[in-house]
Structure 1
């Protein structure tokens, strides 16, 4: 490729990053709409192959997605709202339990002073501030409707997401084809191969990992419910969401569940049952869920996932969090390509010169 055109690509990339930075406050509905279109395209393509028109296939996909969303909201929101409200009411009692039961037990067993870990000030603050707070849904709505402009913006964004998703999904294949026609003819095969690899990684991660997270949230909640934990759904769903980073959901969930079980039951039996529940679910995730739903196509290291999410949030806020993992996956694919290109280059293959240098060094060593 001519060097002049490389400058065009560099300028275009810089313009894209600048636009992402300056337009980040309005990009959220568009990015979520793009995500919906990306997730729904394989199903829409299958429905087209069964004889439906593209518009009808998109309508069916949106109907199924809307039904699943309404079902989840109807089931999970009341459960989570009740458990969050119960947790809010129990926090002062939990702090008293930590101060008068857990910390004295630790001090008696280890001999370490726990005076600096007392939470009396935290307890009083919580009692003063939570007494006037309404339900969880009410708190969310209160934040969203604090001003008329905030309410209008919230409603417009909510309305824009399905509209953007519908039109992008309807024209998804057409947009991909137009973008492909704009590629330099000489570089098209390489770029298409890289894009297909990126799509494989993103598809495995976004579609597969989201399903794994949902299944883990349900299984963790079910296991803790069988144990009898009052916060089963809340802890299970939080653990499922945290599973976007491998093993983080297990660590967060089992720690929260053990603390909740110790506060609720105060015996060894239920603590052991919590460990058993998480161990069984983790085994199912390793043996069944991840190999079946995701496979070994992701290749995103857990540390890379954490860094990508934190860096995206730091640079671009919520929009950065939305695009962090896709960008990380694309960068990973490009790094793999650069690694393959380097190992096929003369700089890597000049082994003869390297062997001569090593031989000269060995000969120069004193006896």
Structure 2
């Protein structure tokens, strides 16, 4: 077996470019996996700086130097972030607290309704089953409430760390954007000399990742705002909270839309019951989801690499399990990266031809 592994290694990694690509990918993965929590501010700043690279380059086309372009873009970015934290998040948190406060009454109403089902359908529904279901739901709510309470206290203890991050991340972003060329040249000094395949993969992925990030941010804003207006004009409770959830649900293809539909339907059902308003809301919500899936996504991601839905779901599960939110957000670009590496990796026939030429 050792001999087979040795032959496989010689066949696959005889080219120094292959070895360099493999070592860089392995090193990057190990760094993020083992030191992700320690270097979290650096990674967040790097990702955000990468997202803002496009507007900085756009401003430089108007004969603005890179330093001035960086400060203009960062000023706009910080202004939007402050508006989100001071204008949107307080409303979302307020509605979230109201929803948690109303959960007991909603649970009592559901319990009363479930208790009437055995009498309505005596041949189908067993009262013991209903009792066990109610007890399981009550236990789940109590456990969830305890988790949220403990998580809230732990979050209060991390306020100092969040303040430090709020200062360090924008500061690192400024230097990453302003001194991009100097930092890139410094990093290249530590890279191997045989990085032909690395450059090939990067060139293939750079534009696609940028288009994906830009398109995903636009999609979140469009879906979230459109859903908020639908919920607001129909006077649905917790409209801002639910709209934020619907907007963020587009981060997880296929799964997100299905998962976020449940809380929307439950809130509407407890507010209006099985009435015309409930039906109208679900129809309007379905129209927004249909427009997103059939119009917005094709327009924004027309240049993205075509991946099979099964591959996308597997990528969401794997990278989301490894890196949480950012893993989910970058699941499709990371899956595309894997595909680009596999495409760039020479086949056995090409390696055999290269050996014959030597």
Query: In which range does the TM-score fall when normalised by the shorter chain?
Result: 0.7 to 0.9
Pairwise CA distance, 1:230:
0.4
1:89 aligns with 2:97: no
Could you tell me which of 149, 154, 162 is aligned with 1:143?
A: 154
Could you tell me which of 119, 128, 131 is aligned with 2:134?
A: 119
Deviates more, 1:171-180 or 1:283-292: 171-180
Aligned mates of 1:164, 1:267 — CA distance in 2? 53
Q: Evaluate the alpha carbon distance shift between residue 5 and residue 253 of structure 1 in structure 2; reply closer, same or farther with a 3 A threshold.
A: closer
Aligned mates of 2:72, 2:150 — CA distance in 1? 34
Pairwise CA distance, 1:308:
3.1
Contact 1:254–1:275 (CA<8 Å) still a contact in 2? no
Q: Evaluate the alpha carbon distance shift between residue 208 and residue 318 of structure 1 in structure 2; reply closer, same or farther with a 3 A threshold.
A: closer
Name stretches of at least 5 consecutive residues in structure 2 with no aligned partner. Answer: 1-12, 353-358
SS class of match (2:38): helix
1:79 aligns with 2:91: yes
Deviates more, 1:175-184 or 1:329-338: 175-184
**Residue pairs, 1:168-183, within 5 angstroms:** 168-176=176-184
Pairwise CA distance, 1:50:
0.7
Could you tell me which of 213, 225, 234 is aligned with 1:227?
A: 234
Could you tell me which of 155, 162, 165 is aligned with 1:157?
A: 165
Q: Evaluate the alpha carbon distance shift between residue 345 and residue 326 of structure 1 in structure 2; reply closer, same or farther with a 3 A threshold.
A: same
Pairwise CA distance, 1:166:
1.2
Pairwise CA distance, 1:59:
0.4
Could you tell me which of 197, 205, 208 is aligned with 1:201?
A: 208
Could you state the TM-score of these two structures normalised by the residue count of structure 2?
A: 0.78
Contact 1:216–1:281 (CA<8 Å) still a contact in 2? yes
Query: 1:144-183 CA deviation, whole Å, 9 max, x = no partner?
Result: 343xxx4543333332211121111112344456667988
Pairwise CA distance, 1:331:
0.7
Aligned length: 337
Q: Aligned-pair RMSD on alpha carbons?
A: 3.7
Give the match for residue 362 of structure 1: none
Could you state the TM-score of these two structures normalised by the residue count of structure 1?
A: 0.76
Higher relative contact order, chain-length normalized (CA < 8 Å, sep 6+): 2
Aligned mates of 2:253, 2:32 — CA distance in 1? 29
Pairwise CA distance, 1:283:
3.0
Give the match for residue 356 of structure 2: none
Could you tell me which of 6, 16, 25 is aligned with 2:37?
A: 25
Query: 1:261-304 CA deviation, whole Å, 9 max, x = no partner?
Result: 11111133122112211222123213432233222414344444
Pairwise CA distance, 1:216:
0.8
Deviates more, 1:249-258 or 1:82-91: 249-258
